[in-house]
Amino acid sequence: MVRSRPAAPAAGAGTAAELGLLASAIAGRPLEVAAAEPGQQPWTDGAVVFLDDQASRPDRIRTVAVQAALLGAGSLGPEILGALGRRRAVARRYLAVEGHRALAVHEAVLPPSVRTLADRMLAGRSTSPASSLAIATSGEVIADPPAVFGVIRPRDVRGHVVRAGVPGRDDPSPTHLPRREREQAVRELDDGEETGIDGAFDQFNPIGGGGAVGRLLQKLLGSSRSAGGGQPGADDATHRTRHGRRAAPGAAVSTAAAALPDEVDAIRRRGTTYPEWNVYQRRYRHGWCTVTEAEPEARNAELAVPGDVRALRQPLARLGTELERRHRQLQGDELDIDATVDARVQLAAGSAPDEAIFIDSVRRRRELSVLVLLDVSGSAGEPSPAGGCVHDHQRAAATALTLALHDLGDRVALYGFRSQGRSAVHVVPVKRFDDRADALMLRRLGSLTPGAYTRLGAAIRHGASVLEVEGGTARRLLVVLSDGFAYDHGYDGRYGEADARRALAEARRRGTACLCLSVAADADAEALRRVFGTAAHAVIPAVEQLRGTVGPLFRSALRLADVQRRVSQRKERTRERLQVERRRA
Amino acid sequence: MTDRVRPYYVPVGNEEQVFRAAFRQSLSVLLKGPTGCGKTRFVEAMAYDLGRPLVTVACHDDLTTADLVGRYLLQGGDTTWMDGPLTRAVREGAICYLDEIVEARQDTTVVLHPLSDHRRQLPIDRLGITLEAAPGFCLVVSYNPGYQSVLKDLKDSTRQRMVVIELDFPPSDVEEKVIAHEGGVDHEAAARLVRLGMAIRRLETAGLREVASTRVLIAAGRLVAEGLGMRDAARAAIAGPLTDDPVVTAGLFQMIDAYLADEES
């Protein structure tokens, strides 16, 4: 018996593949159609209908309809296939009866040319696959099925046919025919031994919908973020300002200094130095820490298992989409009465009135980039109160967050960090902003093993700078996933806390929101809270509870960052104005 | 408006009785059902039966409260208040039909709350007044649970103020009648279109974003009534709107050929 399956032709290339939709429609589930090997009669393996490419078009449609109807009517269930086993003659007789029954079941959705094929008399005699089988095993004379019916190859039908979801749990015990009936079966039909269902299951594959239809499904349902030009994440209208046209006419808008791409590459190669805050002397130690980006390993370790991504999507989707009422706009839903009065006054005074007299309420676009910093220091390897080690939980949380944000179309990156003294702070870019969220990322995550120490301040400074340079959006969020407080050579207690707090303050002043999550860890959360602030740190006992926490936590962090960014912009503007005035004076 | 003919609607279940009862009891109605299954037509028919004017608003995600309630406009040197469709319906006692309510912004749907429960009031803070709904006012919203994104679900506080009527594509005999009547084709052609439509609806899992609705089948029927061949009509009115993907289109064309081509082809 030939088991190999001819490769399905490329979708859309041959007419056989194009009949896939028709087959899927009749069967009521995804099916593919492909050409059978030359000389073979049409058949199906449960996922693909193989047909004779040389047959006429109406015949091909009939064949597809019959085979798909068989699958749709449950005619190829495991118990039937088990009973058919290797008995080809029975299989043929069964098809002659059951084929008509299956067609009759799907009558309402069959193409007109196929409806004439169904023999209602024959179909009326059977009410179920089992009764068709009983007729087939009886001694009665049954005409061979028409050639367009094809054949049933019981041993080649794969596990797809089984609808029960989980293999093993509700192990479909072969409900064979009652013994008495079987004994009545004509002996000479019995040309093979009862093989049971084992053969049908050796290729069990619980995930259906592969192949052309599956690919199609993926294509249609998949996220559409792969393509698309322009600056990612930044789809805010650029000509709109919060304060309308009157605000700061001619004010220079300065953005954070952006590093050149070359510069970024150099940093990646050589490592980059960051200052550290010495709380005892109340000054920075310049060039104190060296951060290097280690190439992430992607051993053939198991893929990291994300938490429930779907559950996270909803709270995260609401981020950054609040409504804003903007006054003095050129267009809008309502009249800004104050602006209107001003305009009338200007007109009455003989000057050209300002036309920006509307209030517009706009939903802010997301325009968000997020960098997740995952603590992979030795302490994460400790056992968690929730079972397993802390690292497993935090990794699951990081993965879920990354995937959820990625799904929502945000710019997101995921870095691991650990350190061994100030000259060896390592960060591992598991997913850079431009990397895809794919299996490679999951494998890299799976390869992360906890070890060494935590120099939190340097990691935050590096994360924030990567976020600013590569994030590409105005709103930025740094999420630190850590189990407890930092410890490294010469970096502990009050010194470490003060430095980390300083690093956060620097990032926040530049408008980057920062927060920290501790998942399934009972470590030193108190210190983290002191560093990040109570509003920007949360302890979550299990990954599943992430859902309730991330929404409010992220939102308040972003709001705080917005305020801080605005304050610093205002300071900037004031300083510029003062400079201008001083120069004039 | 009473001299017009009744919009063609064939009831499938008890939806007409439920609607009438809800209308008499001044309850708001939520219509659930897939795109193109006849929600709008149902409301039109009911408005005709009950003799109330119908105000329809197609909701979209930039629909603001001002779009519904009204706004000040500039006229010459003065501002004048202009009622929105909802306010007009409240004043006149019309049936106000908000199509695809989920598409509207969440802050917008909040104005419906005092209207849709026992208060039946519409506060207009710009004018500083609260309108009592005139007798005969009825709020009807529609909602398509399958097609709208997961993120946009109807808020519980909104749903619980409504009486729900679920509609679906009609059974094949009713749908045949509808297509024959609305499309202006004979019953044989209508039956073929319905068969094709039902086959495509079984494809829901194969990733078409929408299935062939009664609406697209009617459109195909109307093209046929204009003298177009069945296949050409179906390609233009059914396959085209459902997908842009070349592979799916090819598959749909095959299905159309299988269902609508003449027997001998």
Model confidence pLDDT, tens digit, residues A392-440: 888 888 988 998 888 888 889 999 999 988 888 899 999 999 888 888 8
Shared-domain flag, residues A533 and A472: yes
The answer to the question of residue A505 being in a domain is: yes
Nearest to A219 among B71, B245, B250 (CB): B245
Confidence category of residue A269, pLDDT binned at 50, 70, 90: low
Cα–Cα distance measured from residue A64 to residue A15, given in angstroms and rounded to the nearest whole number: 12
Shared-domain flag, residues A436 and A564: yes
Shared-domain flag, residues A344 and A400: no
The answer to the question of residue A179 being in a domain is: no
Q: By CA distance, what is B207's nearest residue in A?
A: A217
Q: What is the mean pLDDT of chain A?
A: 74
The answer to the question of residue A476 being in a domain is: yes
Shared-domain flag, residues A359 and A426: no
A219 touching B (Cβ < 8 Å): yes
Number of domains observed in the structure of chain A: 3
Q: What is the mean pLDDT of chain B?
A: 83
Shared-domain flag, residues A51 and A17: yes
Confidence category of residue A370, pLDDT binned at 50, 70, 90: very high
pLDDT of residue A321: 64
Cα–Cα distance measured from residue B265 to residue B258, given in angstroms and rounded to the nearest whole number: 9
pLDDT tens-digit readout, A76-98? 888 888 888 778 888 888 888 88
Token pair for B64: 């603001």
The answer to the question of residue A258 being in a domain is: no
Q: Within its chain, how far is the Cα of B44 from the centroid?
A: 10
Shared-domain flag, residues A465 and A343: no
The answer to the question of residue A186 being in a domain is: no
Closest chain A C-alpha to B92 CA, distance in angstroms: 24
Q: Which of A209-213, A214-218, A425-429, B251-255 holds the top average pLDDT?
A: A425-429
Residue A447 has pLDDT above 60, yes or no: yes
A window 23-42, beta carbon within 8 A of B = 24-26, 28-30
Shared-domain flag, residues A463 and A546: yes
Cα–Cα distance measured from residue A250 to residue A241, given in angstroms and rounded to the nearest whole number: 13
Closest chain A C-alpha to B2 CA, distance in angstroms: 35
Percent share of chain B, pLDDT over 90: 15
Q: Of A136, A157, A178, which residue is a domain's last?
A: A157
The answer to the question of residue A128 being in a domain is: yes
Q: Residues 6 or more apart from B162 whose CB is under 8 A from it?
A: B27, B28, B29, B30, B116, B141
Sort out which chain B residues have CB atoms less than 8 A from A108's CB and list them.
172, 195, 198
A window 433-472, beta carbon within 8 A of B = none
pLDDT of residue A464: 93
Tell me the three state secondary structure of residue A539.
strand
Tell me the three state secondary structure of residue B186.
coil
pLDDT of residue A448: 86
Read off the pLDDT of each residue in A331-344 and give the average, rounded to a whole number.
Answer: 83
Q: Of A314, A338, A363, which residue is a domain's last?
A: A363
Shared-domain flag, residues A522 and A407: yes
Domain interval for residue A343? 323-363
Q: Of B61, B67, B259, which to mutate for an interface test with A (greatest number of A Cβ within 10 Å)?
A: B259
Token pair for A367: 């325009």
- Give the CA radius of gyration of chain B: 21
Nearest to A109 among B202, B205, B248 (CB): B202
Shared-domain flag, residues A556 and A441: yes
Q: What is the pTM of this model?
A: 0.55
Read off the pLDDT of each residue in A49-71 and give the average, rounded to a whole number.
Answer: 85
Closest chain B C-alpha to A148 CA, distance in angstroms: 16
Read off the pLDDT of each residue in A445-460 and give the average, rounded to a whole number.
Answer: 88
Closest chain A C-alpha to B256 CA, distance in angstroms: 9
The answer to the question of residue A492 being in a domain is: yes
Q: Residues 6 or more apart from A39 whose CB is under 8 A from it?
A: none
Closest chain A C-alpha to B253 CA, distance in angstroms: 9
Sort out which chain A residues have CB atoms less than 8 A from B150's CB and list them.
313-314
pLDDT of residue A416: 93
pLDDT of residue A356: 85
Shared-domain flag, residues A389 and A405: yes
Q: Which of A120, A132, A109, A113 is nearest to A23 (CA)?
A: A109
Is B205 in contact with A30 (Cβ distance < 8 A)?
Answer: yes
Strand partners, A272: A291
B255 touching A (Cβ < 8 Å): yes
pLDDT of residue A170: 37
Nearest to A221 among B72, B199, B207 (CB): B207
Q: Of A157, A187, A205, which residue is a domain's last?
A: A157
Read off the pLDDT of each residue in A153-173 and give the average, rounded to a whole number.
Answer: 50
pLDDT of residue A155: 78
Token pair for A115: 């409806």
Least confident of A217-231, A509-523, B34-48, B83-97: A217-231
Is A12 in contact with B247 (Cβ distance < 8 A)?
Answer: yes
Shared-domain flag, residues A349 and A493: no
Q: Which of A3-12, A37-46, A169-178, B36-45 holds the top average pLDDT?
A: B36-45
Confidence category of residue A248, pLDDT binned at 50, 70, 90: very low
Confidence category of residue A160, pLDDT binned at 50, 70, 90: very low
A212 touching B (Cβ < 8 Å): yes
Shared-domain flag, residues A515 and A381: yes
Confidence category of residue B208, pLDDT binned at 50, 70, 90: low
Residue B204 has pLDDT above 70, yes or no: no
pLDDT tens-digit readout, A107-151? 888 888 888 887 877 778 888 888 888 888 887 778 888 888 888
Sort out which chain B residues have CB atoms less than 8 A from A11's CB and list them.
247
Closest chain A C-alpha to B205 CA, distance in angstroms: 6
Looking up residue A516, the CATH number of its domain turns out to be 3.40.50.410
B window 154-193, beta carbon within 8 A of A = 172, 192
Confidence category of residue A201, pLDDT binned at 50, 70, 90: very low
The answer to the question of residue A530 being in a domain is: yes
